Structure 1
Amino acid sequence: MLKPTVRRLVLHRRGSTVWDVDTERGHYAVKLGYPIAATAEWEAQDWTALAPAREGAVLLDVRTEGVSYGTWEHGTWNIQPWHEGASLYEQWQPHRTGEATEEPDLRDALACAQTLSDLHSKGWTHGDVQPAHFILGAHGAALIDLALAHGGAIPEPYTFPYRGCLVHYEAPEISRSVLATGQALPTPQADTYALGASLFISATGWRAVAYPDDASRAEQRQAVVDGPHRPVNVPGTLGKLIEQMLSPQPHDRPTPAEVCTVLRAELDSY
C-alpha cells in the first residue's frame, strides 16, 4: 500500500511491531499486532492482535488524516502519520541526570496537557497515558498509542476489555478495580492522574508510588491502592499541579484544561 522508500523497525515487543516508513506520499508509522503465546512467565493474550485495528478506529473517529487499518494473517495492522520529535521522558532527561540547571520547561508540560485536553474534548479517554506517549515536536505535543482509548464506538471485531495499563501511571481507582474484577473503565480523571505521574517521573526519575522493582503486577497495584504517593519534590507551580493531579480522590484532580489554564497564567507572568 505505501511503497516505502525507506523503512526502519523501531519497536519489536510481545504482541506488536512498529515501523518508521518513508514514502513519496509522506512519513508514516506502521503497526502490526499478533497474539502473545503463553509461556512459563505469562499467560496467552489475544487482545494484542486486535490493538492496531482498534487504535485505527479511534484515530479515524477523532479525525486524524492519513489513517487506515485492516487485518493480516496473524492479527491486525494500522497506518498513521509519523510524529517527529522526542518523548516527554527523553526531553526531560537532563533534569533526571542533574545536567539541567533550570526547572523543567513549563511549555512542554502545557503541550502535553493540551493534547490530552483536546482528546477529552472529542469524547475520548486515553487509558494509557505515559511519558513515552507524549511526542514533543516543533508544533507542540502529539499523544500516541490510542489502542486502549474509550469513549466512542469501536467495530465489534476489534473490541476487548480494558485491563489497566502500565502500573507506574495507573490511578488508584483503576488499580483497585483491576485487582477486584480483572478489568476497569478508564476515565478522564484517571488520565489526569497518569499525566501527573508522567510529569513526575520525567522530571525526577522516580515512580509516583514506591514499590520494589521486582514486584508482581498485583503487588504493584496494591501499592498504588494503599498509597501514599511519593512526596512531590518538583519545585514551583509544576510541583503544585502534580500534587493535585496525584490526588487519591478522582474528583479532587484538576482537568487537563484546568492544568493548561494554570500553566498559561504562569508562563504569561514571566
Structure 2
Amino acid sequence: MADATPYEIPADVVPPSTEGRLVLHRRGSTVWQVETERGPYAVKLGYPVEATDGWDAQEWTALAPAREGAVLQHLDVEGVSLGEWTHGTWNVQPWHHGDSLYDLWQPHRAEGASTEPDPSEALSCAEAVAALHAAGWVHGDIQPSHLITSPVGTNLIDLALAHGGTVPAAYDFSYRGCLVHYESPEISRSVLETGTATPTEASDVYALGASLFISATGLRHVAYPDDASRRDQRQAIVDGPHRPVIVPGTLGKIIEATLSPTPTDRPTSREVCDELANV
C-alpha cells in the first residue's frame, strides 16, 4: 500500500526549481518525471515497505534505485546518477517516451477488434531484450509496463533486478522473483523452495512471451484467482499448464515456444527476433 503523501524529490538530487510530475507512488517506490535543460529525466526514490495484512515488510525496495543506477552505469547509459537519501536510495536516469506494450495493444483486445497485434512491435520488444542479453545482462523483471515502445523502438526499463555484473555490495540484495504473472516455472519453483532464484536469459524469454500473451489477449499466461496469494500464484505456474495460446499466426507460435516449461526448449531472445523479422 502506498503512503498517503508522496515523497518530494530531495533538494540535493535535482535543483529545487526543476519542474516535476508525479508518475508513480506505491510499495517502496516514488517516481517523478522532471524537465531539465538536458531533456526529460526520471527520478526514482526508494524506501522500505512496512508490513500490512496483505504484504510482508520489504527492505530491498529502499536499495532498488541505487542498484538500478549501478546497472545502468555498467551499460554505459548517459546521464545516470545515484545516491542515498533519508529513507533509502535514489537514481536519476533519462526519461523514455512511449507506451507500454499492454497499452499499445489495447485496441487489439477490444471487443470486435478487426486487427491483430503488429509483429513488428513484438519484434521491437524482443530486440530490446536481445540487446540486453548481448551486453551480458538478464533483466529479471520483464513485464509489459517495462517495455516502453515508440515509433523509434522499444526501451526496456526498470533494471533494478538485473543480473550480469558486479554492483556495489551496499546496494545489492537477493533476487526473490518478480511480478508473478510473468515468472517462469523454474523461477517460481525456486522461490517457493528456497525463497530466492537466479534469473536467466531463458526466464527472460519466458517473461517476454507472457508479456506478449497478456498484452494481446488480456489474460495471464496461467489461470489463478485474482485474489490468490503469491504462493498460490507461483504454485499454479509450477503446476501448469499455461493457458492455450489463442494468438493467431506466427506470433502465436512464437509465444507458444517461449512459454515452454523447459528452459532449454525455449528459443533465445535472438532467435525470437529472427522469427519475428521473417513474419
Report the TM-score when normalising by structure 2. Answer: 0.93
Partner of 2:38, secondary structure, is: coil
Matched, 1:85 2:103: no
Partner of 1:203, secondary structure, is: helix
Identify the match of residue 247 of structure 2 among 222, 234, 252: 234
Deviation string 1:210-249 (CA, Å, 9 cap, x unpaired) is: 0111111000000000000000000000000000000000
Deviation string 1:75-127 (CA, Å, 9 cap, x unpaired) is: 00000000001000000001111353121011110000000000001111100
Partner of 1:118, secondary structure, is: helix
- Counterpart of 2:35? 22
- Counterpart of 1:259? 272
Report the TM-score when normalising by structure 1. Answer: 0.96
Partner of 2:83, secondary structure, is: strand
- In the aligned structure 2, how far is the partner of 1:255 from the partner of 1:10? 33
Matched, 1:161 2:171: no
Deviation string 1:35-76 (CA, Å, 9 cap, x unpaired) is: 111223322111000000000000010111110000001100
Matched, 1:105 2:105: no
- In the aligned structure 1, how far is the partner of 2:38 from the partner of 2:126? 31
Once the two structures are superposed, the pairs formed by residues 163-242 of structure 1 within 5 Å of their partners are 163-242=176-255
- Counterpart of 2:3? none
Identify the match of residue 151 of structure 1 among 158, 164, 173: 164
- In the aligned structure 2, how far is the partner of 1:173 from the partner of 1:93? 30
Deviation string 1:167-199 (CA, Å, 9 cap, x unpaired) is: 110000000000000010000000000000000
- In the aligned structure 2, how far is the partner of 1:100 from the partner of 1:41? 37
- Counterpart of 1:42? 55
Deviation at residue 264 of structure 1 after TM alignment: 0.9
Partner of 1:240, secondary structure, is: helix
CA contact (8 A) 1:2 1:23 kept: no
Which amino acid letter does the alignment assign opposite residue 159 of structure 1? D
Can you give the 5+ residue segments of structure 1 that lack an aligned partner in the other structure? none
Deviation at residue 5 of structure 1 after TM alignment: 4.2
Matched, 1:2 2:14: yes
Percent of aligned positions with the same letter in both sequences? 68
- In the aligned structure 1, how far is the partner of 2:109 from the partner of 2:216? 6
Partner of 2:90, secondary structure, is: strand
- How many residue pairs get aligned? The number is 266
Partner of 1:37, secondary structure, is: coil
Partner of 2:187, secondary structure, is: helix
- In the aligned structure 1, how far is the partner of 2:21 from the partner of 2:221? 34
- Structure 1: 4+ residue segments shifted above 4 A: none
Deviation at residue 265 of structure 1 after TM alignment: 1.2
Which amino acid letter does the alignment assign opposite residue 88 of structure 2? G
Partner of 2:260, secondary structure, is: coil
Matched, 1:142 2:155: yes
Deviation at residue 133 of structure 1 after TM alignment: 0.2
Shifted more, 129-138 versus 94-103: the winner is 94-103
Partner of 2:21, secondary structure, is: strand
Cα-Cα RMSD: 1.0
CA contact (8 A) 1:164 1:170 kept: yes
